[in-house]
Amino acid sequence: MTSGTMFSLHSLLILLSFSATKVLSCSRVTYHAGVDDRITAGRSMDFVASTNSSMYIFPAGLQRNGSIGENSKSWTSKYGSMVTTMYDMVSIDGMNSEGLTGSLLYLGNSDYGARNTSRPGLPIGFWLQYFLDLYPNVAAAAEALQKENLQVVTKALVPGVSSTAHLALSDKSGDNMIVEYLDGKMVIHHGQQYPVMTNDPSFDDQLTLNTYWGPISNVSLPGTGSPAGEFWLAYAQKSPEIVERHANDYLIIDRFVRLSYYNSLAPESKDLMTSVATTAAMIRAVSVPFVPESQINTGLDIWPTLWRVYQDSKDMVYFYESSMVPISIYMKFSDYDLSSSGKIMRLGLAEESWEDLYGDMNGKFTNATAFIPLGAGG
């Protein structure tokens, strides 16, 4: 797509010098098709500058290590995976050969705690990758987390941009897990009832806010009788404490509530196409159009949507669509060797011309090596 950077790195840095702490937001949903146990995951990436994304194929049998010094977690991948990266430094979205899908989404509140070398450490760039490499489903990942006491280690992506995220995992059975680090402690929400994740506030607060919004979603959301803002103000009078904490978060809460609502109403899908289309329709509806640079950092936490991915864990197909250029691609797992005899392959989405990024990408990947994860080096 020869990148078409939305905002140059220069303007990004100027922006940050005005102390913006949030520079990305995103939305994720797992849609249960209702028949044939089909689960399709979808996510948007809203960010201030091009993410220079690549697709990677990682086979089973890869030796991995966190490269963060003492007590760095190391492992050998049991499962192959297909992932989307940011800057070839972070596995930000992906699915493994068992149909476990996962995404990292921005969470400004995250606090992973000061490095404690008596806990195994994982660089944030491989946080998601660790789960895709080792676990076939959410239950197995949850069990491992109870035992391991992992600590995520992060690093600024570009100077001043905090790289703090929470993690969502989902599997073929419709199980989900949200993992956050708050005040240095890991907080987990595990179950089928958690198919939606957006950004701040923390997931607990999102759930609390959604108990208010859920029942009035049918009358309070865009496209219904009243705009969300009026209800937010009414809520502000009822629960000033929580509102005060999240005075600037209402647009994110809006995405959480809308996605939860759309997902609760989504009709059944009987095949791959309908299921992906249903998921895409929801994720597109919480996407953000381009905004003029002058409007960025004026108080609203709004960033344009740059791309979206959809992963279908029944047919094992991975879709990527850009909103910076009109491209849409897919990869079928059956076309790639994810076994331990496979090779690491890469497709640099920011390097290909947009005309080449249409349809099936089988045959377009080239041999590659693993990237050094963000957070490595301490």
Q: Which residues are marked as active site? A: 26
Q: Which of 119, 155, 284, 332 binds ligand NAG (CB under 6 A)?
A: 119
Among 343, 348, 354, 356, contact with ligand NAG (rule: CB under 6 A) = 343
E-strand ranges in 109-258 read 121-123, 151-153, 165-170, 176-182, 185-190, 196-197
d(CA 326, CA 349): 13
**Near ligand NAG by CB under 6 A: residue from 13, 34, 52, 344:** 52
267 Cβ neighbours under 8 A, 6+ residues apart: 34, 278
Stretch that binds ligand NAG, among 19-27, 113-121, 247-255, 291-299 (CB under 6 A): 113-121
**Distance, C-alpha 259 to centroid of its chain:** 14
- Does 218 interact with ligand NAG (rule: CB under 6 A)? yes
- How many residues bind ligand NAG, per CB under 6 A? 21
Among 3, 11, 71, 109, contact with ligand NAG (rule: CB under 6 A): 3
Q: By CB under 6 A, tell whether 118 contacts ligand NAG.
A: yes
Q: Per the structure block, which two tokens stand in for 340?
A: 């331990």
248 interacts with ligand NAG by CB under 6 A: no
Among residue numbers 126 through 165, which ones bind ligand NAG (CB under 6 A)?
149, 158
Closest CA to 320 of 38, 53, 69, 15: 53
How far is the CA of 256 from the CAs of 111, 188, 331, in angstroms?
Answer: 22, 18, 28
Burial of 219 (0-12, 13-18, 19+ CB in 10 A): exposed
Report the nearest approach of ligand NAG to the CB of residue 106 (Å).
Answer: 16
Binding of ligand NAG at residue 11 (CB under 6 A)? no
Stretch that binds ligand NAG, among 97-105, 111-119, 232-240, 241-249 (CB under 6 A): 111-119
Provide the CB-side half-sphere exposure for 46 (13 A, CA): 27
Span of 131-139, 212-220, 239-247, 292-300 interacting with ligand NAG by CB under 6 A: 212-220
Taking the least distance from each CB to ligand NAG, the nearer of 71 and 173 is 71
SS3 294: helix
The answer to whether the CB of 15 falls within 8 A of the CB of 46 is no
Q: Which residue has the tokens 């992963």?
A: 311
Q: Examine residue 341 and tell whether it contacts ligand NAG (CB under 6 A).
A: no
- Which residues bind to ligand NAG, rule: CB under 6 A? 3, 9, 50, 52, 65, 67, 74, 87, 116, 118-119, 149, 158, 215, 218-219, 343, 350, 366-367, 370
